[in-house]
Structure 1
Amino acid sequence: MAKKEIVWSNLAKLQLENVLEYFFIRNEDSAYSLKLLDEVEDLLNTLSSSELIGRLTSNKITRVISMKVYLIFYEVKENQIEIVSFWDNRQDLKNRKVK
């Protein structure tokens, strides 16, 4: 199976940026944020060639894959995989927005 391109929705990009910025400010260092970003990239590299590894959600379109305390919601398109949300499970559930 050929690798699919990974694209990020604006919401997912913002969510990831907020998490990375939070830890950068809290730790006064970029080490954890960079480590987290590497882990996300590794997972997405695997996802790009194994698109069905995530669990199908109740809407039967979106899939979710867990990464420690984070959930990555994505949808498989014809030629790409769209990351629709990057959710930190420590946040209030009522704030979660997924298509």
Structure 2
Amino acid sequence: MAKKEIVWSKLAKLQLKNVLEFYVQRNGNSNYSLKLLNEVEDLLETLSNAELIGRLTSNKFTRVIPMKVYLIFYEINGNRIEIISFWDNRQNEGNRKVK
């Protein structure tokens, strides 16, 4: 299977940015945020080579991968994988937007 391009939706980028900024502010440095970002990048490298590793959600075309306390929602579109949401499970589920 060929490696697929990973693209981020505006919502997913904003969600990830907010998480990373929260930890920078809370911890007073960027160490944990950089560690988390590296873990996300490693997971997405794996995903780009094996796009079916996430489980299907109830809508039958969105997939989800758990990562620590986060859920990464994505969809496969041809040769691209679109990250549509980077969800922190500690948030109110009613606020979750997956597109």
TM value normalised by structure 2: 0.99
Match of 1:30 in 2: 30
Report the Cα offset of residue 76 of structure 1.
Answer: 0.4
Counterparts of 1:16 and 1:79, CA distance in 2 = 23
Amino acid at match of 2:98: V
Match of 2:84 in 1: 84
Counterparts of 1:30 and 1:78, CA distance in 2 = 35
Q: How many residues align?
A: 99
Unaligned 5+ segments in structure 1 are: none
Runs of 4+ in structure 1 off by over 3 angstroms are none
Deviations 1:14-60 (A, max 9, x none): 00000000000000010000000000000000000000000000000
Counterparts of 1:25 and 1:73, CA distance in 2 = 26
Identical aligned residues as a percent: 77
Counterparts of 1:62 and 1:8, CA distance in 2 = 14
Report the Cα offset of residue 98 of structure 1.
Answer: 0.5
Counterparts of 2:34 and 2:95, CA distance in 1 = 25
Match of 2:69 in 1: 69
Cα RMSD for the two superposed structures: 0.4
TM value normalised by structure 1: 0.99
